[in-house]
Amino acid sequence: MSDLLERLRSRGWRLTAQRRVVAEVLDGDHVHLTADEVHARAVGRLPEISRATVYNTLGELVTLGEVLEVSTDGRAKRYDPNAHHAHQHLICSRCGTIRDVHPTGDPLAALPTDERFGFVVSNVEVTYRGICPDCAVGAA
């Protein structure tokens, strides 16, 4: 559902064809794409869109808090459109697939005050790594 575009518009975000396309690409699938993959899909809908614009737009969406940046161990960052639900990532070490999983409690509570060293802690990222079922089958 594209309440993403709604939210952006109501925030006074200048809506251009390029930006709409990027938002739609992110909103469509719930996979976690790299900037380049977003660009590739965007080109399918709007052939003239440039890579720079995709980067700009993704950067803004991250700043606005509508999209999350996920740095995997590999090189290219991935973008997670699911920023409004607290969730964590489960990454396959072999093929790189990312799945969203949902925490049971508040993971922030796991850090006791005496381990905070005076930091004001506002956020936790939790990433599980393992082998996905598909890769487990394919493994030697």
Partner DNA sequence: TTGAGTGCAAAGGATTTGCAAGTGG
Partner DNA sequence: CCACTTGCAAATCCTTTGCACTCAA
Q: Which residues bind a second copy (CB under 8 A)?
A: 69, 71-73, 88, 90, 92-93, 99, 101-105, 107-108, 110-112, 115-133, 136
Residue with tokens 């093929």: 95
| 135 appears as a binding residue in the annotation | yes
Alpha-carbon distance of 28 to 50, in angstroms, equals: 20
Alpha-carbon distance of 35 to 56, in angstroms, equals: 10
Strand order in the sheet with 68-70: 33-34, 78-80, 68-70
| 139 appears as a binding residue in the annotation | no
Residues 62-101 that bind DNA (CB under 7 A): 75-77
Q: Judged by CB under 7 A, how many residues of this single chain contact DNA? A: 24
Q: How far is the CB of 128 from a second copy (least distance, A)?
A: 5
Establish if 32 lies at the interface with DNA (CB under 7 A).
no
Q: How far is the CB of 104 from a second copy (least distance, A)?
A: 7
Indicate which of a second copy, DNA, none lies near residue 126 (CB less than 5 to 8 Å, by partner kind): a second copy
Nearer to a second copy, 5 or 88 (CB): 88
Per-residue tokens: 71: 């740095």
7: left (phi over 0), alpha (psi -120 to 50) or beta: alpha
| 38 appears as a binding residue in the annotation | no
Distances (CA, A) of 40 to 4, 45, 117: 21, 9, 44
| 136 appears as a binding residue in the annotation | no
Annotated binding-site positions: 92, 95, 132, 135
